[in-house]
Structure 1
Amino acid sequence: MTSFPLASLVTLLVLLLMAVTGVNVGRARERYGIKAPAVTGHAMFERAFRVQMNTLESAALLLPALWIYAGYIGDRGAGVMGIIWLGARVWYAVAYMSDPVKRSGGYGLSFLAFVGLWLGALWGVGRVMLH
């Protein structure tokens, strides 16, 4: 059996990040009196909500690329790029909550990590298909 400990750890940490952003939205709903299903009403709630949604959207792209990369290229590279993505997404979230204008650094780095995983996954799949 092939083992993917780093990709597995990154996946668990991505799930934790998604859970934390969800909890933050719930706390912001309560703090700012935003009743479900509303998603607008106070700037700080809206920031928390956008951080959560952007994280979910980005994770939906990341996770398949992470696992395809791990399977076809290697667990170590997938894990390193996944950790970079995680750190960048935390940077993004903290920056977005303090001042949305400052979110671009975290976003850009997380996007580069995703692109690296996606291109590596594509190369790995293509290499196998051509042989």
Structure 2
Amino acid sequence: MFHFTAIVTLLAVMFYFYTSMQVARARVAYGVKAPAISGNPDFERIFRVQANTLEWMPIFLPSLWLFAIYLSDVFAAGIGLVWILGRVLYMTGYAEAANKRGTGFAIQMVAVALLWGGAIYGVVSKMLHV
């Protein structure tokens, strides 16, 4: 069973939901009516956090699960938590100023690269040892 990876998946989805709610709040606070996604720089940064998180989830989630299945549930979950931490740092930095998003982005990018690389390694080594 992959209980730890399942918990991290739920946390990642919860984080994405939170960013979506932040966009809804920012629309009201900054007077940006749907379907507009521009007009106020503070709103645009909050919107980009949500959009960028969505852009990374199709890379993160399959890599997380393949790593868990082929290598380790515990290590996948640990790296997944680092990804979430990176996303949180990205969000808090970007909400303040666009040039403060880099550290969080780098952390989440390294985490997903480790998951993807581990998934590739796990799949290929299982294929070669069957």
TM band (smaller chain): over 0.9
What displacement does 1:60 show?
A: 1.6
**Of the candidates 16, 26, 29, which is equivalent to residue 28 of structure 1?**
26
TM-score, reference length from structure 1 = 0.96
Indicate yes or no: 2:38 matched with 1:40. Answer: yes
**Number of the residue aligned with 2:65:** 67
TM-score, reference length from structure 2 = 0.97
Question: Which sections of structure 2, spanning at least 5 residues, go unmatched?
Answer: none
Number of residues paired by the alignment? 129
Q: How does 1:81-100 map to 2 (within 5 A)?
A: 81-100=79-98
Amino acid at match of 2:117: L
Question: Which sections of structure 1, spanning at least 5 residues, go unmatched?
Answer: none
Percent identical among aligned pairs is: 43
Q: For the aligned residues, what is the CA RMSD?
A: 0.6
What displacement does 1:102 show?
A: 1.0
Distance 1:55 1:24 in 2: 13
Indicate yes or no: 2:125 matched with 1:127. Answer: yes
Distance 2:7 2:98 in 1: 29
